[in-house]
Amino acid sequence: MYAFVVFLRKMLAQDQTPLLDALKTDAECSQACFYTPGHKQGQGISQKIANVFGTAVFRADLPELRDTAAIQQAQELAARAFGAEKTWFLVNGSTCGIEAAILATCGPGDKIILPRNVHSAAIAGLILSGAVPIFVYPEYDFGLDIAHCIAADAVAAALSKHPDAKAVMVVYPTYYGVCGDLKAIARVTHQYDIPLLVDEAHGAHFAFHPELPAPALAAGADLTVQSAHKTLAAFTQASMLHVQGTRIDRDRLEKALQFLQSTSPSYLLLASLDAARQQMALYGKQLMSHALQLAQQARNQIGEIPGISVFDLTCKQQKSQVSPGFAALDKTRLTVDVSKLGLTGFRAAEILEQDFGVTAELASPRHLTFIISLGNTQKDIEKLVEAFTYLGQEKEELGVASLPCFWDNANKVGDCLAVSPREAFLAKTEILPLQQTPGRICAEIVCPYPPGIPVLMPGEVISKSRLEYLLCIQAMGGFISGCADASLKNLRVLQM
């Protein structure tokens, strides 16, 4: 096996795209198809869909490749490009990678240390595995009204209280592009000889430019999951999971990934990962330089508009607010505070979209967050600046209600849940009017989306303050997901 890997390493260069090439060859081959998918390389598609997508994409939508080594070769190339020892291509987003990471490291009753502001994929991982979360509260910046990463000291405190934990999971970067001190967290975690798992969904581009934060693997992560579709040029749902070192049981991880993904993965998605890797390996620095330059231009120009401030580590007035959960910022992520204009982020997002055709990635009560990637152009930035210039002039004076904060926790290590997320998920439940639920145990994930960070999760005791927070987000125009009743009139709780 080792000799085979050495052989591959010697043979393949980063300008090659073995998977994309194999797919192209098979797509061009004319055959009478008696296998899936039913559209038979596009012969059976409706005219309507052909008019939208053309036929090329269906010709390449094949269930298998004749070159059976192509996937492994493509993953091997990706491992080298992203600095991993082994890489898996994922067709079910980082969601399945995060779930698999937890399943591969924790069993029923095992403890895992993770930030309270984890993505709902991690909660799903807890439900699937039966693991018990030990939550560490993120550093909260009240000035900016943004939750950052968890601090290494808080992880150390959690580990000394729970030395039997089986893994630590960290979100790096946050949705706002904020990165914690991952090196320090890796050091603390490895003192207990347990793996550091990283949700690097928003950081697939980090390895390709020195001005971006260090990639998680370089900072010492044992496993990291990246949504190549979020910041690189892969199709939506296409992600990668990278591993290094010996703390991860790779066979168990492989099995977990098999459980969580389709047995008929889309080769279109897989080939897009191969192409995205090649593009970044060859031109990543150049592409990221351009994205960084566009982001800086937007930062400078929008930051000068009265009443609008742009979230920036180097911003003088914000320096005092730099916290242990904020060691670096991904400058391609632009977060703009519109609250001083008397607007909520939700209302500002509406105006930008309806009047200027500018769509943000994330709207929150005070902010709008934009992803600037290799796909953006100078024209996009000009439209963005024009839209904010308008907002700066046309203040709406709607007033921004102050939002109750649910991260305000003096103890950095959170209390345990009433029951594990898995027990809560499997328990008998009932639906109650919202007002009757404080004090009861929640049976569902309730989270504003985006960013997909649960405010309530299965197993957690429902507090009035969390409900107020959710209602406030909803009243401001935010969308609540995960729960059966998105209107929040009712909530599913455990039966007593």
Ligand X SMILES: Cc1ncc(COP(=O)(O)O)c(C=O)c1O
Q: How far is the CB of 201 from ligand X (least distance, A)?
A: 4
Q: How far is the CB of 238 from ligand X (least distance, A)?
A: 8
Of 247, 151, 157, 243, the C-alpha closest to 194 is 247
Nearest CB to ligand X, comparing residues 75 and 94: 94
Contact 114, 133 (CB under 8 A): yes
Q: How far is the CB of 239 from ligand X (least distance, A)?
A: 5
Q: How far is the CB of 171 from ligand X (least distance, A)?
A: 5
The CA distance from 196 to 222, in Å, is: 5
Nearest CB to ligand X, comparing residues 345 and 451: 451
Q: How far is the CB of 231 from ligand X (least distance, A)?
A: 11
Q: How far is the CB of 128 from ligand X (least distance, A)?
A: 15
Of 459, 456, 457, 455, the C-alpha closest to 424 is 459
Q: How far is the CB of 226 from ligand X (least distance, A)?
A: 9
Nearest CB to ligand X, comparing residues 213 and 451: 451
Which residues of this protein are in contact with ligand X, per CB under 6 A? 93-95, 98, 119, 121, 171, 175, 199, 201, 227, 239, 451-452
Backbone phi and psi for residue 102, each to the nearest 5 degrees, phi listed first:
-70, -45
Q: Name the closest residue to ligand X (Cβ).
A: 93
Q: How far is the CB of 246 from ligand X (least distance, A)?
A: 26
Nearest CB to ligand X, comparing residues 94 and 339: 94
Nearest CB to ligand X, comparing residues 73 and 332: 332
Q: How far is the CB of 242 from ligand X (least distance, A)?
A: 14
The CA distance from 166 to 115, in Å, is: 15
Nearest CB to ligand X, comparing residues 121 and 327: 121
Nearest CB to ligand X, comparing residues 27 and 453: 453
The CA distance from 153 to 134, in Å, is: 15
Q: How far is the CB of 483 from ligand X (least distance, A)?
A: 18
Q: How far is the CB of 132 from ligand X (least distance, A)?
A: 21
Nearest CB to ligand X, comparing residues 199 and 444: 199
SS3 of the chain: CHHHHHHHHHHCCCCCCHHHHHHHHHHHCCCCCCCCCCCCCCCCCCHHHHHHHCCHHHHCCCCCCCCCCHHHHHHHHHHHHHCCCEEEEECCHHHHHHHHHHHHHCCCCCEEEEECCCCHHHHHHHHHHCCEEEEECCCEECCCCEECCCCHHHHHHHHHHCCCCCEEEEECCCCCCEECCHHHHHHHHHCCCCCEEEECCCCCCHHHCCCCCCCCCCCCCCEEEECHHHHCCCCCCCEEEEECCCCCCHHHHHHHHHHHCCCCCCHHHHHHHHHHHHHHHHHHHHHHHHHHHHHHHHHHHHHCCCCCEECCCCCHHHHHHCCCCCCEECCCEEEEECHHHCCCHHHHHHHHHHHHCCCCCEECCCEEEEECCCCCCHHHHHHHHHHHHHHHHCCCCCCCCCCCCCCCCCCCECCCCCCCHHHHHHCCEEEEEHHHCCCCEECCCEEECCCCCCCECCCCECCHHHHHHHHHHHHCCCCEECCCCCCCCEEEEECC
Nearest CB to ligand X, comparing residues 65 and 98: 98
What is the maximal distance between C-alpha atoms in the chain?
68
The CA distance from 214 to 221, in Å, is: 11
Nearest CB to ligand X, comparing residues 281 and 453: 453
Nearest CB to ligand X, comparing residues 202 and 492: 202
Nearest CB to ligand X, comparing residues 18 and 203: 203
Q: How far is the CB of 120 from ligand X (least distance, A)?
A: 8
Of 269, 280, 274, 283, the C-alpha closest to 17 is 274
Q: How far is the CB of 173 from ligand X (least distance, A)?
A: 8
